[in-house]
């Protein structure tokens, strides 16, 4: 297996945008190719969760290759729900690591704001087990069930969750590509309306448009993919043995650390899947940064803030950078690449080893990627 490097990274602004899905993918892809020094790519891996319904586009991989004037480049689409961007990165990594390809372009995007929110909620809820969906379960509803179980088990108050939103909005305010670039207060978060009790509006990520891209290569570059893991769990919440942690993240993390020859203590910066505020706390435990039940305490002490010893979501996370569902998993990798190369501007942290963790569905199809700066 060859070493695989990230040769280039690119990303559009995230938010409520005028651009089309193809336009967003093309902008991010062009940025990554330019950043990589325009290598001769041999394939395009495209991630998008539901371009058919959200953007009225089908055959998105071929369509994208044609759109950017590369109709003869083999392209394929990867989909694992809300972790699709990380899945496409993983699939491209296997193609390059195996030696099948030398250079692969990965693009990941979603166009979500053209549809009304209840319709988007219904589309996203198709990631849920059909029986649970028949009871009206949405992603926020299942996240709320997990949140309440976790809060009950570890004695958390709503303000403990709000701290995640406050931290990530503060980080987002330093990210010119973030959907939200305005700091918020705990009071604002706690006064926002309920979406699914105990989760309020500010506990949930926004519906966003946006795209991210990366070029993977076997040639030595400044950032190496040190470890990568893919973990899965029951689609149905009722079949899970644990409601206060995600087995799929834990399995993916074990695999990624083993491949990287690293432990959680080696990670100096992380992008975690905070689609809902409790998910950042739970994920910080699932990837082994903190003991079960200790994630909120570490957050409250400022350990995961930009100036802490283990900054989490310096980009603003899904919460403030935004969550174009298919794009987020790759946008996390892009942020870690920028952090490791010292190109993260006003949100730069000091790190040589970083981790990205992406959740697909309600944590049924997750990815963990460990990236290292190459000396």
- Candidates 193, 265, 307, 350; binder of other proteins (CB under 8 A) is 193
What are 233's two structure tokens?
């769990």
Is 114 a binding residue for other proteins by CB under 8 A? The answer is no
Q: Which helix or strand (DSSP H or E) is residue 21 part of? A: helix 21-35
Beta carbon nearer to other proteins, 30 or 121: 121
CA 261/CA 244 separation, integer angstroms: 27
Considering the complex, state which of residue 7 and residue 248 has its C-beta at the smaller distance from other proteins.
Answer: 248
Shortest distance (Å) from residue 132 CB to other proteins? 5
Where in 235-264 is the site for other proteins (CB under 8 A)? Answer: 236-241, 243, 251
CA distance 51 to 347: 32
For 78, phi then psi, to 5°, come to -120, 140
Binding mask 333-372 for other proteins (x = CB under 8 A): ----------------------------------------
- The candidate with the shortest Cα–Cα distance to 165, out of 331, 284, 334, 280, is 280
Minimal distance, residue 193 CB to other proteins, in Å = 7
Task: Give the Cβ contact number of residue 374 at 10 Å.
Answer: 14
Those residues with Cβ within 8 angstroms of residue 366's Cβ, 6 or more apart along the chain or in another chain: 83, 230, 231, 232, 233, 246, 248, 249, 251, 252, 273, 357, 358, 359, 360
Other CB atoms within 10 A of residue 254 CB = 15
Restricting to residues 66-95, name those near other proteins by CB under 8 A: none
Tell which positions 217-236 bind other proteins, by CB under 8 A.
234, 236
Here the tokens at position 197 are 């009790």
- Rule CB under 8 A: choose which of 36, 55, 177, 196 binds other proteins: 196
CB nearer other proteins, residue 118 or residue 307? 118
Helix or strand run (H / E) with residue 320? helix 317-320
Looking at the Cβ atoms of 141 and 334, the one nearer to other proteins is 141
Phi and psi (nearest 5°) for 309? -80, -15
Per-residue binding letters, 124-163, with other proteins (x by CB under 8 A): -x-----xxx-xxxx-xx--xxx-xx--x-----------
In whole angstroms, how close is the CB of 279 to other proteins at the nearest point? 15
Instruction: Evaluate whether 173 touches 162 at the Cβ level (below 8 Å).
Output: no
Cα of first residue to Cα of last residue in the chain, in angstroms, is 21
Q: Where are the beta strands (DSSP E) in 12-82?
A: 43-47, 75-78
Among 52, 56, 119, 343, binds other proteins (CB under 8 A): 119
d(CA 184, CA 162): 10
**Least gap, CB of 128 to other proteins (angstroms):** 10
- Segment contacting other proteins by CB under 8 A, of 121-129, 167-175, 279-287, 351-359: 121-129
Q: How many residues bind other proteins (CB under 8 A)?
A: 37
Q: Write out the residues near other proteins by the rule CB under 8 A.
A: 117-119, 121-122, 125, 131-133, 135-138, 140-141, 144-146, 148-149, 152, 193-199, 234, 236-241, 243, 251
């Amino acid at each position: 297996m060859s070493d695989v490097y990230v040769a280039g990274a690119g990303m559009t602004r995230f938010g409520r945008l005028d651009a089309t899905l193809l336009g967003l993918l093309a902008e991010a892809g062009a940025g990554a190719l330019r950043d990589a020094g325009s290598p001769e790519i041999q394939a395009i891996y495209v991630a998008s969760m539901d371009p058919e319904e959200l953007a009225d586009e089908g055959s998105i991989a071929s369509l994208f290759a044609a759109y950017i004037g590369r109709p003869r480049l083999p392209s394929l689409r990867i989909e694992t729900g809300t972790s699709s961007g990380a899945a496409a990165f993983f699939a491209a990594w296997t193609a390059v690591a195996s030696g099948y390809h030398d250079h692969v372009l990965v693009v990941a995007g979603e166009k979500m704001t053209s549809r009304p929110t209840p319709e988007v909620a219904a589309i996203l809820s198709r990631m849920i087990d059909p029986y649970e969906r028949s009871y009206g379960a949405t992603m926020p509803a299942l996240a709320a069930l997990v949140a309440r179980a976790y809060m009950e088990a570890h004695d958390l108050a709503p303000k403990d969750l709000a701290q995640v939103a406050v931290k990530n909005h503060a980080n987002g305010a330093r990210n010119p590509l973030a959907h939200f670039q305005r700091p918020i207060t705990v009071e604002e978060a706690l006064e926002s309306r309920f979406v699914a009790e105990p989760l309020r509006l500010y506990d949930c990520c926004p519906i966003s448009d946006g795209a991210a891209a990366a070029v993977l290569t076997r040639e030595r570059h400044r950032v190496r993919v040190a470890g990568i893991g893919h973990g899965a769990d029951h689609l149905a919440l009722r079949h899970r043995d644990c409601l206060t942690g995600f087995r799929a993240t834990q399995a993916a993390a074990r695999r990624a650390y083993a491949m990287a020859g690293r432990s959680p203590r080696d990670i100096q910066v992380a992008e975690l899947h905070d689609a809902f505020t409790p998910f950042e706390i739970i994920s910080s435990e699932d990837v082994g940064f903190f003991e079960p039940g200790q994630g909120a305490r570490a957050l409250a002490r400022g350990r995961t803030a930009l100036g802490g010893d283990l900054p989490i979501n310096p980009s603003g996370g899904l919460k403030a950078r935004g969550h174009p569902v298919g794009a987020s998993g790759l946008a996390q990798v892009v942020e870690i690449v920028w952090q490791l190369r010292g190109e993260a501007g006003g949100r730069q942290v000091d790190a040589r080893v970083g981790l990205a963790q992406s959740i697909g569905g309600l944590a049924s199809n997750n990815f963990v990627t460990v990236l290292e700066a190459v000396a």
